[in-house]
Structure 1
């Protein structure tokens, strides 16, 4: 059969790879990659995805609603607690007497005889620290006493003339009760507590001379929120303490705001008070209505001179035009006599119309007004433009677009705030 020999094998040219020892299996093509969900060509997958999105949106909406519902519940509950304690101090004789006697006790420290000492444990301790800071900012000398440290030496800060304010909602905090035997009998004790009657409070039973300052809540925190975490109780205690601070400060200081300003020079509060107290253009400007409006178109420069010297403000007005003191004084200079018989409109630079004045807000501080004038002069291209902000230039001081006063630039720059 030609060259073909039986039993003879020739190598076969091929690119296949043979794995020795591998079992023979039917070959199959690799699987195709999965189609992405929501494929346009797969309407069933698209509907499933929409349903999934709707479920997620509903779940998120329910979660948001639950959170906000709880927030509103907490806020409403604490507001109700404050309304309840407000009514207590409006009507209850014991609460009203306790508040009066506490203010009286703290107020007697104004001559330097004694101080206020606040103490509390846990959350009540934090409230005590905050109140101590508030009292000090109102110049009511106050210190915080850690009750544990007090039993290890710090009780030495308590003087015989001091007032001690204990904060404990239960009225039986062990750390506070443990202090009582070691306190001077001459010290005044005040108890800020959830009890509204002395007979229910263990603390008062041990020291019957204690002044009761009630801070009860309208319902237990476990009833309101299912947990005894201090919430409404600390809110009410803080509010009663704040009321005590403001009432005492009002009694001791003629201006509580000025005292607070002096004691709080830093931060945003200090900056706001400094801005409020800073002198403004309204404070120093010549009031527009106080300038006599006695001139008319036929008035002579001599009339301006006479009215200027008679005017308390030294300014004279003709409708919306004014003559400032420096411009009036020009009429007295040598060689200016010839102008006296001229009509005011014919004397150059004597009367300044409203549209030639520099407009500036009445609430602008002196410092900022000076910066405005100097910046305007610095931006001027030539001497003529710089003279627009010259010493005799006039500032129109405006309030809501209406002119309420005027001021010469020279007078502004000569003020101490402008140096």
Structure 2
């Protein structure tokens, strides 16, 4: 579609239509907001959420979420939220379960079955089997007297006064309420399990938080021959060659036991240019900075970032518990690892 055609279409969308569209959108949002407020008020005198959370905490297996249609889509999100916040969970399609996938469910599992009507044939075909094998069922429906509600060990009422759909047909407010209640249960479980940031990171190793909380200095530091290091008696030209070859903009200065006692950087060199005429006579121990910043290989990479930011440095040396040099770290290493 051309830009000119797009602009023509936008112009044809007149102010009156735009105003009406906004009114309709706000009406839909208000209906869903009211539905959530009604759910919150209803829960004030409802023990079922506590019962459901208790059942899920006692679950020795996994939480199996199931639903069909729009309820299935909401169920997938609830299962994903539970799994990422410390409650092992998966979604099983009820139609597929009736044709073999029910084998995924064990007697130690808890099934969360979602159906607003509480009469979904696909769920009612498999849940009696789950009950017979000794599994527990939590139902989320809008009909407390439905077949599914009666079958369940715990029934969670997700009824709404009306859907946001003007025909009161398309699941809108009801799916919002169901999803919100699923989130609320996941958060309650998270808190009661003592789920921490580190646990969340283990479930999200590919995400930014995972990289921040799971990446250690040893994972990103330069090792062995890639570490820039010279001895105390090294002449400055040789030290500069080491800095150039290793490409870190600095070199560690180590004693006979390979323990860093100083550091010399590109910045130090620039500051020396106006003061020193003959670099060939300069020994590195006479111009190095004493007591360089160091970090341990088992510390988190984000700790190195914090030190670099605090002291406005771009490189750090990595030492083991005995103080021996085992690595070097440049801020670019942390950037490449997406820790920053």
Q: Is TM more than 0.5 here? A: yes
CA 1:142 to 1:384, structure 2 compared with 1: closer, same or farther past 3 Å?
A: farther
* Secondary structure in structure 2 of the residue aligned to 1:212: strand
- Residue 297 of structure 1 is matched in structure 2 by none
CA 1:407 to 1:149, structure 2 compared with 1: closer, same or farther past 3 Å?
A: closer
* Secondary structure in structure 2 of the residue aligned to 1:152: coil
Aligned partners of 1:394 and 1:409 also within 8 Å = no
Residue 154 of structure 1: how far off its partner (Å):
0.7
Q: Are residue 188 (structure 1) and residue 136 (structure 2) matched?
A: yes
Q: Are residue 101 (structure 1) and residue 51 (structure 2) matched?
A: yes
* Secondary structure in structure 1 of the residue aligned to 2:155: strand
1:128 to 63, 70, 75: 75
Residue 173 of structure 1: how far off its partner (Å):
1.1
Aligned partners of 1:394 and 1:408 also within 8 Å = no
Aligned partners of 1:391 and 1:408 also within 8 Å = no
- Residue 201 of structure 2 is matched in structure 1 by 261
**In structure 2, distance between residues paired with 1:267 and 1:168:** 33
* Secondary structure in structure 1 of the residue aligned to 2:202: helix
Residue 182 of structure 1: how far off its partner (Å):
2.2
- Structure 2 gaps of 5+ residues are 1-9, 218-263, 277-283, 294-308, 320-326, 330-340
TM (norm. structure 1) is 0.51
Specify which structure has the bigger relative contact order, considering alpha-carbon pairs within 8 angstroms and separated by 6 or more residues.
2
Aligned partners of 2:140 and 2:178 also within 8 Å = yes
The one-character-per-residue Cα deviations of 1:43-62 (angstroms, maximum 9, x if unpaired) are: xxxxxxxxxxxxx9796111
The aligned length equals 243
* Secondary structure in structure 2 of the residue aligned to 1:178: helix
Q: Which moved more, 1:73-82 or 1:243-252?
A: 73-82
CA 1:176 to 1:418, structure 2 compared with 1: closer, same or farther past 3 Å?
A: same
Q: What pairs up with 1:6-405 in 2 under 5 angstroms?
A: 60-90=14-44, 92=45, 96-109=46-59, 113-185=60-132, 186-195=134-143, 197=144, 200-205=145-150, 207=151, 209-222=152-165, 225-253=166-194, 255-270=195-210, 273-274=212-213, 376=267, 382=273, 391-392=289-290
* Secondary structure in structure 2 of the residue aligned to 1:414: strand
Residue 381 of structure 1: how far off its partner (Å):
7.3
**In structure 1, distance between residues paired with 2:157 and 2:109:** 21
**In structure 1, distance between residues paired with 2:310 and 2:74:** 52
**In structure 2, distance between residues paired with 1:192 and 1:374:** 64
- Residue 413 of structure 1 is matched in structure 2 by 316
**In structure 2, distance between residues paired with 1:219 and 1:203:** 21
Residue 78 of structure 1: how far off its partner (Å):
1.2
Aligned partners of 1:85 and 1:215 also within 8 Å = yes
TM (norm. structure 2) is 0.61
Larger radius of gyration: 1
Residue 278 of structure 1: how far off its partner (Å):
8.9
Residue 210 of structure 1: how far off its partner (Å):
2.5
Give the superposed CA RMSD.
Answer: 3.6
**In structure 2, distance between residues paired with 1:406 and 1:180:** 58
**In structure 1, distance between residues paired with 2:154 and 2:265:** 62
Aligned partners of 1:107 and 1:248 also within 8 Å = yes
Aligned partners of 2:85 and 2:200 also within 8 Å = yes
- Residue 242 of structure 2 is matched in structure 1 by none
Residue 259 of structure 1: how far off its partner (Å):
1.2
**In structure 2, distance between residues paired with 1:256 and 1:120:** 30
Residue 415 of structure 1: how far off its partner (Å):
4.4
CA 1:220 to 1:268, structure 2 compared with 1: closer, same or farther past 3 Å?
A: same
**In structure 2, distance between residues paired with 1:248 and 1:60:** 49
**In structure 2, distance between residues paired with 1:384 and 1:127:** 71
Residue 376 of structure 1: how far off its partner (Å):
4.3
